[in-house]
Structure 1
Amino acid sequence: MTRVVIVDDQTLIRQGIRGLLEVAEIDVVGEADDGRTALAVVAQTSPDVILLDLRMPRFDGIWTLEQLRAGDIDIPVLVLTTFDDDELVLGALRAGARGYLLKDVTLNQLTRAIRALADGGTLIAPSITDRMLRAIRSGPSPLGPEAASVQSLTEREQEVLRLVARGYSNREIAEVFFLAEGTVKNHVSMILTKLGARDRTNAVLRALHEGILD
């Protein structure tokens, strides 16, 4: 069973999400009302996925993402928020979020996203994607000026990257191409290196900005 920690400053929201996830057989192993508490709860419970709100008093979602990254805590974070402005979305993805959903999603969409992240995938709300594509293509690199120059990807690496962008996990990609999962992991690692990206989500953003992905 997938294990989740919910981070949201509103008690009623946390309780509601917990109840829904338990119906869907996802185990909520902890809750926190701000980033600092979240770090302690995550350390105690080691969840498979962190559900994180962004706008919280004191220690907000971006702060939490930065602290997780600084501490080399490689637990996938799914942002679940009511805010979808471009700057906030890109800020969360730059800080290490692997998924971004709005709170108007259905239970099925939420559980699918949680399981996708737990299995190594990524997922961004479709309602945000089109607008983000326009912003990414018209602006500077989403990874900042320090990003390495993009090296050419092989045909297979481009195929793998397309499935990564669609939220496929390494296991699912391996099944599509009839490859060993370890081979897919090697492809993903090479993609990250060539794109100068630190994780799968940033690799997708970088590829979109450079026109590698449609």
Structure 2
Amino acid sequence: MENIKLGLVDDHNLFREGVKLLLHRIPGIELVLEAVSGKDLLTQLQYTTPDVLLLDLEMEEMNGVDVTINIQELYPEIKIIILTMHKEQRMISYLMEIGANGYLLKDTNKEELEKAIRSVYEKGFYFNSFVSEALLKSLKNKVNNKPPKIGKEYHLTSRETEVLELIAREYTTSEIADHLFLSIRTVEGHRKNLISKLGVKNTAGLIMKAIKEKIISV
């Protein structure tokens, strides 16, 4: 099995060194890129492309929000985990909507860091209890007094709806394939169609939109 290629972007040297020490203790994860700013990252991405990116929010020259937007446009295959001290729920919701795949606070432990990296790599998203609460509150505010919609309004097939429900239940692509007796390529095709039909950027956004529009229930 190939290692998960990881990038780390933070302008505090001491914090980066601490994260690197944690990463050295996690098998199957290889740090291939280390950047001190958003601009530094975009330069390095011309030569090295990680699978998953740990990204700070507050940086000089280009902050984490701007970096997330740029990554979505230039390197949409890269999964982004925001790693920050910011706990504001509106910020969490906004970042997930513009393309982040996960959100961790900087006081997280090694076990959760590993879990988040592997989940984002394998499933396309990671929602811990803190993030889930923030997203659900945000979605609740947006859907209040809004009539429920059903999958037919987005022209979802019954099979796409099945795949969507399993994605929301945190099944991996291979697990969905086994559960529905499909090939992995077919499942990936359904996932791409769902992202296109619901007009979102990634799997994390797909789940948020599906809950918001009441296509699936929480």
Give the TM interval when normalised to the shorter protein: 0.7 to 0.9
Q: CA deviation at 1:150?
A: 4.5
**Paired residue secondary structure (1:55):** coil
Distance 1:43 1:171, change over 3 A: farther
- How many residue pairs get aligned? The number is 207
Number of the residue aligned with 2:79: 76
Q: Which runs of 5+ in 2 are unaligned?
A: 145-151
2:46 counterpart SS class: helix
RMSD: 2.2
For residues 176 and 103 of structure 1, what CA distance do their matches in structure 2 show? 36
Secondary structure of the corresponding residue to residue 32 of structure 2: strand
> Which region of structure 1 is more displaced relative to structure 2, 150-159 or 108-117?
150-159
Aligned partner of 2:15 in structure 1 is 13
In the alignment, what sits opposite 2:44? Answer: 41
1:35, distance to aligned residue in structure 2 (A): 0.7
Question: 1: distance between equivalents of 2:44 and 2:52?
Answer: 12
Residue identity over aligned pairs, in percent, reads 32
Shift of the alpha carbon at 1:134? 2.2
Contact 1:3–1:48 (CA under 8 A) maintained in structure 2: yes
Contact 1:121/1:164 (<8 A) preserved:
no
Mapped pair 1:164 → 2:141: no
Determine the C-alpha separation between the residues in 2 that align with 1:195 and 1:137: 19
Q: CA deviation at 1:202?
A: 1.5
Match of 1:119 in 2: 122
The verdict on how the C-alpha distance between 1:42 and 1:206 changes in structure 2, with shifts beyond 3 A counting, is same
Is residue 199 of structure 2 the alignment partner of residue 196 of structure 1?
A: yes
Per-residue deviation at 1:66?
1.2
Partners of 2:15 and 2:134 in 1: CA distance? 27
Large movers: runs of 4+ above 4 Å:
none
> Quick one: which of 186, 194, 212 aligns to 1:183?
186
**What is the deviation of 1:159?**
3.0
TM-score, normalisation: structure 2: 0.85
CA distance in 1, matches of 2:109, 2:135: 22
Give per-residue Cα distances to partners, 1:188-211, cap 9 Å, x unaligned. 122223322232121111111112
1:168/1:57 Cα in 2 relative to 1: closer, same or farther (>3 Å)?
Answer: farther
The TM-score normalised by the length of structure 1 is 0.86
How much does 1:73 deviate?
Answer: 4.2
Out of 118-127 and 58-67, give the one that drifted further.
118-127
C-alpha displacement at 1:140, in angstroms? 6.6
| Equivalent position of 1:134 in the other structure | 137
5+ residue gaps, structure 1 = 142-148
